[in-house]
Amino acid sequence: MKLLAFNGSPRKKWNTAQLLEHALLGAESEGAKTRLYNLYDLDFKGCISCFACKRAQGKSYGHCAVKDDLHPIFEKIEKADAILIGSPIYLGITTGITRCFLERLIYQYLVYDEERSSLFKKKIRTAFIYTAGATDELVQEMGFDRNAKGTEMAMERIFGSCESFFVTDTLQFDDYSKYVAPRLDSEAKKERYKEQFPLDCKKAYELGARLVRQEE
């Protein structure tokens, strides 16, 4: 089993990255081979609407024609058994670079037919880990979870399955005294982080294991 993970956060050691690392450990505990990509290290843009992946009998039909850093990664995804994508919530949805990645990943396999077909050649498991500084209540009030549902449905259509894991009320700053954020109770957030984040890391570990676990 192979699990490919993608960190859509600009920070390589913070909440999203740590959760992804725990998920990879969970996958490895089931014997899977894993690899983590930091999207901010890659040189690519979103879909350019060339429609080469849709051109009838075209040489790029069903595959993104743009030759950039995503090209070899898409080849690896086609050989993978599971995909895990992590992103903080920025303005109600994933980071911009994560959205660009999803545009390119999903659209090449999408077919405009009544059956809502997928050109991806097999069914694999996919999942998201979302992190948010907002509380559970604000995530629901602001509709962050509903925004994520649309992406989840698109992934299900293309790859066969998808699940989402939200980690909320995270720490944005290592030292809140250095930033202007009077609405936030830094001490309360630190206390919650100390109690809750280890539990969230455990859930991420379990998610990674579940994504690659062989069905008996």
pLDDT of residue 179: 83
Mind listing the pLDDT tens digit for each residue in 76-96?
999 999 999 999 998 888 999
Mean predicted confidence (pLDDT) in 200-215: 91
pLDDT of residue 140: 78
Asked whether the predicted pLDDT for residue 5 surpasses 90, the reply is yes
Mind listing the pLDDT tens digit for each residue in 11-23?
999 999 999 999 9
Closest Cα to residue 4, out of 148, 168, 159? 159
Confidence of residue 45 (pLDDT cuts 50, 70, 90): very high
| Residue 186 and residue 176 in contact, taking contact as beta carbons nearer than 8 Å | yes
pLDDT of residue 16: 95
Asked whether the predicted pLDDT for residue 214 surpasses 80, the reply is no
Identity (one letter) of the amino acid at 208? Answer: G
| Residue 200 and residue 167 in contact, taking contact as beta carbons nearer than 8 Å | yes
Asked whether the predicted pLDDT for residue 216 surpasses 60, the reply is no
Mean predicted confidence (pLDDT) in 30-34: 94
Mind listing the pLDDT tens digit for each residue in 149-163?
889 999 999 999 999
Domain 2-212 fold is: Rossmann fold (3.40.50)
- Paired strand residues for 34: 3
Asked whether the predicted pLDDT for residue 98 surpasses 80, the reply is yes
pTM, two decimal places: 0.89
Mean predicted confidence (pLDDT) in 62-66: 94
**Helix spans in the chain (H):** 15-29, 70-77, 96-107, 136-141, 144-159, 186-212
Neighbouring C-alpha atoms within 13 Å toward the C-beta of 52? 11
Mind listing the pLDDT tens digit for each residue in 172-196?
888 888 888 888 888 888 888 888 8
Mind listing the pLDDT tens digit for each residue in 136-145?
787 777 778 7
Mean pLDDT for the chain?
91
Stated as kind and residue range, the H or E segment containing 14 is none
Domain ranges (residues) in the chain: 2-212
